[in-house]
Amino acid sequence: MNGPAGSDAGAAARQPCELVRDLYDAWNAGDVAGAAALLSPSIRWETFGASGELSGPQAMQTTLAGGSTGGTWQLSPLTIDVLVGVVQHVIAFTRRGGPDGERERLEVWTLHDGAAVHYRGFPLEEGLAVLTETTGSRRLEAVCRGVLAFNRGDFDGWVELFDADVEFVTAELDVWRGHAGIRAYWQSLAELWPRQRLDDVNILAESAIELVISAIQHLESADRTLRVAEPLHLVIAFEGRRARRVSGHATAEEAMAAATDGRSP
């Protein structure tokens, strides 16, 4: 089992997903100085289909915004669907409006010493293909697709993450089996919390058949008067590209231990 990701206490004060979220917030607010403070002076910019690589903070507007007027960036609206942290990388799934409609993007940020040092931007499907090619398996792609579907309220897309005979054991030791069980779990959660999403998903470790992940689960009442944010720690055992068993744990350390000592499959 490879070691944990994104948890170096000696690194920058911001966690990787937090830093990238701050970057996007700065873009949306037109805060040039705030965004530039999060970039390395030698940051490299690569965009799928572009003719070459750019470098330096000044290339940010060319890459992402297309110019500015009076110190305010001319940005199309941007929505962050989910951020996924993998060691020193953050994979951002975003949507931008434009004259031709909404565009889905997969953007990979590499961080070092509390600053972004490398950006790679792709259309969604091309970016997911690069993830699979880079990791040598489809497990990370499957998790990303599943979380995207969960956050968008797409049950059919979410259930695609799971094997037909999946066993899902929560941290409270509730057990749900098969796609019918996954549907029942979804419905039971939606009855209490109609609005729900997963944020700041971190890949803590990976073995030949498992991923250990942590995330923040945001739950909100229908009238938006009650909000809860709960940590989620999961060991996901795969059979092929689908999750065969998912076990929840109270802490990230417990999840890591369960995967390492073989108790999770």
The residue ranges of every structural domain in the chain are: 16-129, 139-260
Least confident of 5-9, 38-42, 69-73: 5-9
Which pLDDT does position 60 carry in this prediction? 66
Return the CATH fold of 16-129: Nuclear Transport Factor 2; Chain: A, (3.10.450)
Residue 51 has pLDDT above 70, yes or no: no
Phi, psi of 259 (to 5 degrees): -70, -40
Please tell me the number of Cα atoms within 13 Å of 178 on its side-chain side.
Answer: 1
CATH top class, domain 139-260: alpha beta
Confirm if 51 and 63 have CB atoms less than 8 A apart: no
pTM of the full structure = 0.86
Distance CA 92, CA 205 (A): 19
Report the Cα 209 to chain-centroid distance in Å: 20
Confidence of residue 70 (pLDDT cuts 50, 70, 90): very low
Residue 68 has pLDDT above 50, yes or no: no
Which pLDDT does position 11 carry in this prediction? 39
Which pLDDT does position 66 carry in this prediction? 44
Average confidence (pLDDT) over 175-185: 96
Q: Do domains 16-129 and 139-260 have the same CATH topology?
A: yes
How many CB atoms sit inside 10 A of residue 223's CB?
A: 8
What's at 89, amino acid-wise? H
Residue 73 has pLDDT above 70, yes or no: no
Tokens 């799971």 belong to 162
Which pLDDT does position 32 carry in this prediction? 72
Confidence of residue 175 (pLDDT cuts 50, 70, 90): very high
Least confident of 54-58, 74-78, 132-136: 74-78
Confirm if 189 and 208 have CB atoms less than 8 A apart: no
Residue 232 has pLDDT above 90, yes or no: yes
pLDDT digits (tens, 9 = 90+) for 26-43: 888 878 778 888 999 999
Sequence-separated (6 or more) residues with CB below 8 Å from residue 99: none
Average confidence (pLDDT) over 94-103: 78
- Exposed, middle or buried: residue 243 (CB in 10 Å: 0-12, 13-18, 19+)? buried
Question: Percent of the chain having pLDDT more than 90?
Answer: 65
Residue 164 has pLDDT above 70, yes or no: yes
pLDDT digits (tens, 9 = 90+) for 195-230: 999 999 999 999 889 999 999 999 999 999 999 999
Selected residue with higher pLDDT from 185 and 4: 185
Distance CA 22, CA 40 (A): 15
Which pLDDT does position 75 carry in this prediction? 53
3-state secondary structure of 131: helix
Sequence-separated (6 or more) residues with CB below 8 Å from residue 163: 239, 240, 242, 243, 244
